[in-house]
Amino acid sequence: MTPEPIVKKAVVNATAAELWRLWTTREGLNSFFGRDSRVELKVGGAFEIYFLMENEYGLRGSEGCRILSFLPEKMLSFSWNAPPKFPEVRNSEYKTRVIVEFNETEGEATEVLLTHTGWPDDAGWLPVHAYFENAWTSVIESLGKKIL
Q: Give residue 11's domain range.
A: 6-32+70-147
Task: Say if 42 falls within a structural domain.
Answer: no
Q: Is 104 helix (H, G, I), strand (E, B) or coil?
A: strand
Task: Say if 53 falls within a structural domain.
Answer: no
Instruction: Strand 6-12: give its sheet, edge to edge.
Output: 6-12, 110-117, 96-104, 75-80, 67-71
Mean pLDDT value across residues 119-146: 93
Q: What pLDDT is recorded for position 108?
A: 84
Task: Say if 120 falls within a structural domain.
Answer: yes
Mean pLDDT value across residues 99-125: 94
The mean of the pLDDT values for the chain is 94
Instruction: Please check whether residue 89 is in contact with residue 33, taking contact to mean a CB–CB distance below 8 angstroms.
Output: no
Q: What pLDDT is recorded for position 94?
A: 94
Task: Say if 121 falls within a structural domain.
Answer: yes
Q: What pLDDT is recorded for position 1?
A: 61
Mean pLDDT value across residues 89-114: 94
Number of domains in the chain: 1
